[in-house]
C-alpha cells in the first residue's frame, strides 16, 4: 500500500507539472498564433524548451508555406491591396494581390503588406540620393528578393502567409521615392481612406506625389493624391 503522504506528494507534483505545461502551452500559443495541437507537439519534441519549440514551429510553418505556394501558384490573384507610407524624405507604394476580398481584409495579409512596404521604404532610405526626386521601380521578381527587417526575403514572408491563409499571393510591384531638396515634399494616400490616418495605409487605390513648394502644404498634397486616384483609377502605372 502506498502511504498517504507519498500519494499526496505524487498528486501535488502531477498537478504542478500539468500547470507548468499549460502555462508554457499558453505562452507559445499567444506568441506564435499556431494551434494548441501544434504548440503541444513542439513542446513535447523539445522537452518544454520554449525557444526551441518556437523555432521549430516557425521552420515547419515556412516549409509548409513553400509547399502551399507551389501548389497554388497558378491560381488567379485579382484582389488585394495598395499600401502607401511616407516617412520624411522617403516614401513607398506597393501592390500585393490575393485571390479573394476576404483574404484582402485578413489581418495576416495586412501584416504581410506592412512587411513589404517597410522593406521597400528601407531600401529607399539606404540609397544615395543623387537627384532632386529619385525613384526606384520594383517589378515582381525584384520585389520578391528584397530583404525584410528580419533578414528573410519578401518571398519567404509571402510563402509563410500563403500557408496561413490558404490562398495564392502575388507581390506584384512597388515604388520607392526619395527627395533631397528641402523644398520638395512627399505625400501619399489610399482609397478608401483609413478611418484613423496612420503612417502606413491600405486601400484599393493609392497615389504618391512629390510637390515642390516653399512651404509644406498638407492640404494641397492630399487633394492632389485624391484627384489622381479619382481621375486615373482605371489606369495603372507610374508617371
- Whether 132 contacts 186, CB under 8 Å: no
Does an H or E element contain 27, and which? helix 4-32
**How confident is the model over 21-50, as pLDDT tens digits?**
788 888 888 887 777 888 888 888 888 899
State the average pLDDT over residues 196-203.
Answer: 78
Q: Which domains occur in the chain, in start order?
A: 22-73 (1.10.8.10), 79-237 (3.30.479.20)
What is each CA distance from 128 to 87, 118, 123, 181, 238, in whole angstroms? 16, 18, 10, 13, 22
Question: Can you give the pTM of this predicted structure?
Answer: 0.77
State the average pLDDT over residues 136-152.
Answer: 94
185 bridge partner residues? 211
**How confident is the model over 104-126, as pLDDT tens digits?**
999 999 999 999 999 999 999 99
List the 169-179 sheet strands across, edge first: 133-139, 169-179, 90-98, 79-87, 200-203
Does an H or E element contain 208, and which? strand 205-212
> What is the DSSP pairing of strand 90-98 with strand 169-179?
antiparallel
Least confident of 3-7, 141-145, 192-196: 3-7
Which pLDDT belongs to residue 18? Answer: 58
Which pLDDT belongs to residue 206? Answer: 92
Which pLDDT belongs to residue 197? Answer: 61
Share of the chain above pLDDT 90, in %: 47
pLDDT of 98 strictly over 50? yes
Which pLDDT belongs to residue 193? Answer: 76
- Whether 113 contacts 83, CB under 8 Å: yes
Q: Name every residue whose Cβ is closer than 8 Å to that of residue 127 and which is 6 or more positions away in sequence.
A: 134, 136, 176, 178
pLDDT of 63 strictly over 60? yes
Cell digits of residue 65: 508555406
Q: If DSSP codes are grouped into helix, strand and coil, which group holds residue 148?
A: coil
Grid cell 489581418 in the structure block, residue: 107
> In terms of residues, how long is the chain?
239
Cα gap 146→210, rounded to integer Å = 24
Burial of 112 by CB count in 10 Å (0-12 exposed, 13-18 middle, 19+ buried)?
buried
Amino acid at each position: 500500500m502506498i502511504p498517504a503522504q507519498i500519494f499526496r506528494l505524487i498528486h501535488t507534483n502531477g498537478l504542478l507539472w500539468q500547470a507548468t505545461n499549460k502555462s508554457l502551452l499558453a505562452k507559445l500559443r499567444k506568441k506564435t498564433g499556431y494551434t494548441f495541437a501544434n504548440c503541444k507537439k513542439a513542446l513535447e519534441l523539445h522537452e518544454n524548451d520554449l525557444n526551441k519549440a518556437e523555432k521549430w514551429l516557425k521552420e515547419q510553418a515556412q516549409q509548409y508555406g513553400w509547399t502551399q505556394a507551389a501548389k497554388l501558384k497558378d491560381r488567379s490573384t485579382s484582389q488585394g491591396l495598395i499600401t502607401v507610407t511616407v516617412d520624411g524624405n522617403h516614401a513607398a507604394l506597393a501592390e500585393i494581390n490575393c485571390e479573394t476580398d476576404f483574404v484582402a481584409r485578413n489581418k495576416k495579409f495586412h501584416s504581410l503588406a506592412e512587411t513589404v512596404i517597410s522593406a521597400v521604404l528601407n531600401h529607399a532610405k539606404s540609397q544615395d540620393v543623387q537627384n532632386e526626386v529619385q525613384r526606384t521601380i520594383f517589378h515582381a521578381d525584384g520585389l520578391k528578393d528584397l530583404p525584410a527587417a528580419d533578414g528573410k526575403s519578401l518571398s519567404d514572408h509571402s510563402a509563410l502567409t500563403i500557408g496561413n491563409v490558404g490562398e495564392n499571393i502575388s507581390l506584384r510591384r512597388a515604388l520607392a521615392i526619395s527627395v533631397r531638396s528641402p523644398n520638395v515634399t512627399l505625400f501619399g494616400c489610399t482609397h478608401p481612406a483609413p478611418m484613423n490616418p496612420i503612417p502606413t495605409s491600405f486601400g484599393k487605390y493609392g497615389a504618391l506625389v512629390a510637390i515642390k513648394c516653399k512651404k509644406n502644404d498638407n492640404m494641397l498634397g492630399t487633394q492632389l493624391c485624391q484627384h489622381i486616384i479619382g481621375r486615373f483609377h482605371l489606369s495603372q502605372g507610374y508617371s
